[in-house]
Amino acid sequence: MSFTGVVVDRVVLSIDHGSGYVSSFEPVSSELEIGDAVGAGEVIAQLESYEDGSGHCDQPCLHWGVRHHGEYINPLLMIGALEPSVLLPLNGGE
């Protein structure tokens, strides 16, 4: 674990995965401390609401961001949820 604390008004947990990848999660609470190692499938945090009790979502929600060498990327790339784009001809292949 590489960071836990308040950023602006939100509690954020960041995990350094190595190879330049860092995931951030908010709003959460966690028992982890900086430097703690975590493995696949381990619970890293509990979902919380924002400090002021407000939420911009109708239901509890988790914000997950991923950076690669400091640049934000689509987090779904990390779980293989994106299929590659396939370009099809306009005329249906004729």
- Structural domain harbouring 24: 3-78
Phi/psi-derived region of residue 81, left when phi > 0, alpha when psi is between -120 and 50, beta in every other case = alpha
pTM of the predicted model over 0.75: no
91 occurs within a structural domain: no
pLDDT digit string (tens) for the chain, length 94 residues = 677 777 777 778 999 999 999 999 988 888 888 899 998 889 999 988 765 565 667 777 888 999 999 999 999 888 876 676 777 777 655 5
Nearest to 27 by CA among 8, 2, 1: 8
DSSP state of 77: G
Q: Say what the pLDDT of residue 94 is.
A: 54
Q: Can you give the length of the chain in residues?
A: 94
Distance from C-alpha of 38 to C-alpha of 23, rounded to nearest angstrom: 13
CB 18, CB 26: distance < 8 Å: no
Examine residue 68 and state whether it is found in any structural domain, yes or no: yes
The number of distinct structural domains making up the chain is: 1
